[in-house]
Amino acid sequence: MTTELPMLEVSPMAAKPRIAVEEGWPVKMDRQTAARYLKEKHAIPTTAKTLANWMAAERGPKIRYLGTKPFYDIAELDRWAKDEAWNDESPARRAARLRKRHHAESRS
């Protein structure tokens, strides 16, 4: 099932830039679209609310603003999904593992 994503068409007089499309996905995405992209492209189950919470906590993929509206770059979403924080380790396990490593390093 292919879903069509809306292109953001603007008049020449508008202040907003045109949004390019890459592989059927906009290059710059709002939270709803970014959450759907992460879910469909990278199998990361997230919602727009989760992305908003991550932004407030200074976690998750980096954002840029177009005016006052936050947007996510497709390249940043791909980088974050590949390199950063997404793995099967729970935050509690990660914290315990880091504490254990820090404790071992401090004893050396």
What pTM, to 2 d.p., does this model score? 0.59
Q: Which two tokens stand for residue 52?
A: 């908003």
CB contact at 8 A, 46 and 39: yes
Domain ranges of the chain: 21-107
Q: Which residues contact 76 (CB under 8 A, 6 or more apart)?
A: 61, 62
In eight-state DSSP terms, residue 61 is S
Confidence of residue 80 (pLDDT cuts 50, 70, 90): confident
For the stretch 22-79, pLDDT in tens is: 567 878 899 999 999 988 888 888 899 989 998 888 888 899 998 898 999 999 998 8
